[in-house]
Chains A and B, each alone.
Chain A
Amino acid sequence: MSDARIPLPFHEAAPAALEDGQLRRNLAHVTHAIRAKRADATAELPDWEALRQAGKAIKDHTLRNLGTYLRRLETRVEAAGGHVHWARDADEANRIVRRLVAAEGVREVVKVKSMTTDEIDLNGALAEDGVVAIETDLAELIVQLAEEPPSHILVPAIHKNRAEIRRLFLDAFDLTPDQLSDDPAALAGAARRFLRERFLEARVAISGANFAVAETGTTCIVESEGNGRMCTTLPETLITVLGIEKVVPTWRDLEVFLQTLPRSSTAERMNPYTSFWTGVHGGDGPRHFHLVLLDGGRSATLADDVGRATLRCIRCSACLNVCPIYERVGGHAYGSTYPGPIGAILTPQLRGEPRDGELPYASTLCGACYDVCPVAIDIPSILVDLRRRTVDARRAAHPLPAADAVDAALRGAAAAFATPRRYEAAQRLARLGQAPWVRKGVLRNLPGPLAGWSDARDLRAIPRRAFRDWWRDREAARERGGDPA
């Protein structure tokens, strides 16, 4: 993945984000509000669990037969007058889109919010040709104007409040302070006036898609603002970039996802705008339609027995909204297009970069993400599996010495736990060795990696007698016929 923003590693970015009080308040407010609404919206459906299992089954079936359905999709799109392009990776996808845009000779394109084009940094690639890509989703436009990456899959500007948004709009739309209040309706109105001009002028639109139906070659976008429909109907040329895992076999399958996606993401019964288009039609909609099918690490993920389930993801972002880690540090700390629990498993698999080995550790494994996932991805198990690979890969590269103090401690503990004799010796050693840190029965100012613990929490000193000592003494007393301890 080409990423112009060189992010800090999570363990550095997260504490910095924690110190931003405004960010924490914004995030806590919004995630708790969406969380509660989502719970209500899913509880409304008596067959929610059945829908969840159906979504999982459809995705698993599709992934097992992905080649078949992608070839069918290609055939149907071409038959409907569209063109299909295959891209192995981000660079290839960007080259294809740049060539298509250059052929139209435009300096500006309008875009529908798309995680996939963010993943490949398409806007950055277009900028190299002097082409400006205007984001038309309100929140996406806000982060674009702020020159920041999105911080949430669904609510890219979740970390911004309306006062911050007003300041951005005053600058971008060249307004005086008295022309714009921080009233949400006024802010939306200002953005609408700006965007309407872009829609009417644009000859090329670029989108992602939520689903593509193999049986008819139809692509589908769900959205809330109508900007997606503008982009897919007004410009002459429509270029859609689609991750290959987004295909579904039939229209019938959409029945499931068009219920689970909106309820999981925005807690709505249905999205305000659900748009479908199939190829090109004389006198209506775009005259040229290009579908770019992106692999970008997906085939490698598909080949993995444990990781494969990650590709079921329909980008609803429910896992972000319930994640206690995401709630505290926000999306930017993850340093990837996909933040939160899904990002912590998707990013390392798609990118395959050693730097991302840290992301699977950004979790307490509390399991809240698995509970809410509408396609039942067992995110905690995949996190643990990715941790295992990270450790194995590091050890293969550097067998000795230990990578860090935590590594050394864990390897030492494993050796100590291997036999009861060593375990009990280690227990005695810890009891004796703790003396320098015990103050009034509490362990304070612990050394090395344990400092992170004792900075914020007390830990009671190790008691004189372990349970096993109590049990042994009690058994001995019983054998002597005495009173148990």
Chain B
Amino acid sequence: MPRASLFVPCYVDTLFPEAAQAMVRVLERLGVTLDFPRAQTCCGQMHVNTGYERDARPLVRHFVDVFGDADVVVAPSASCVATVRHAYAGIAERAGDPALAAAVAATTPRVREFSEYLVDDLGVTDVGASFPHTVTYHPACHAVRLLGVGDRPLQLLRAVDGLHLRELPRAEQCCGFGGTFAIKNPEISAAMLADKVADVLQARAEVVVAADESCLMHIGGGLARQRTAVRTMHLAEVLASREGVAA
């Protein structure tokens, strides 16, 4: 029986708890025994990416303390997983702390993005979901380019009963969120969002799906402001849906 520890990033925990709940439902349905180390807080992505590495250092230390003993760590956020896997080693090295570097080296390879865990670790693409709706998929930049999740999320979506997948025009284009970029350069971010919203509408889907709630927060924020009926859902929410059961 596989065991996994849940890493629920701070913004998912606080703003989008339903995405993490859906991930729990899917994984438990597949027989995974889960634990949620309550001491976890934040991976420090926002700090690392904005240049506040010194402030991120205690968060790195905390993360490896919390998850050091886990078999596998699963998270519903590609960009947070990317931060852990790609940024932590350099931070530990620059901190000049060999013990931290060793703990990072031991922990981070066991951290998985949700679709990676399903396809690579569990070897599953059909999770027994049913979602009779038209869906389009936004490949989050960090999922595609930093983690290389490839078409794993699409394999999972294609196996969902009743789901009709429509291609998103110019899917590989960044939505313009970029963490603090949306705050520091709000006009450019909004211009990129406007183009992404137009592409989503062109896809004529009911739902936009991604493996990263941060892009969805941005795209969903733009769709809602324009009063469109298109909804955003995390991949886990679609995969948790079953016939006659709301996600």
Residues on A lying within 8 angstroms of B by beta carbon are 10-11, 14-15, 18, 24, 324-325, 328-329, 360-368, 370-371, 381, 384, 386-392, 395, 406, 410-411, 413-414, 417-420, 423, 427, 430, 442, 449-453, 455-460, 462-463, 465-472
Contact = CB atoms under 8 A, between A and B. Distances in A.
Q: How large is the interface on B (under 10, 10 to 19, 20 to 34, 35 or more residues)?
A: 35 or more
Interface string B45-71: 011111111111011001000000000
19 contacts: A15-B188, A328-B188, A360-B51, A364-B192, A365-B178, A365-B179, A368-B174, A388-B51, A390-B51, A391-B51, A410-B46, A410-B55, A417-B42, A420-B41, A453-B182, A456-B186, A466-B17, A468-B13, A471-B36
A361 B181 contact: yes
Contacts of A366: 141, 145, 174, 178
B222 interface: yes
Ranked nearest first, the 10 interchain pairs of A and B with the lowest CB-CB distance are A364-B178, A452-B186, A387-B51, A457-B221, A414-B55, A367-B145, A366-B174, A456-B190, A391-B51, A467-B17
Which applies to chain B's interface (DSSP): helix, strand, loop or mixed? helix
Contacts of B39: 420
A375 B49 CA distance: 24
Given A430-B14, A449-B183, A466-B14, A455 B188 contact: no
B17 A456 contact: no
B50 A410 contact: yes
Contact of A467 (B20, B192, B225): B20
Nearest to A378: B86
A469 B13 CA distance: 9
A452 B141 CA distance: 22
A62 B55 CA distance: 37
B33 interface: no
Which applies to chain A's interface (DSSP): helix, strand, loop or mixed? helix
Given A366-B178, A388-B53, A406 B42 contact: no
Contacts of A10: 185
A15 B185 CA distance: 8
A371 B222 CA distance: 27
Given A442-B224, A465-B17, A363 B50 contact: no
Nearest to B59: A417
Nearest to B54: A392
A54 to B, nearest CB: 22
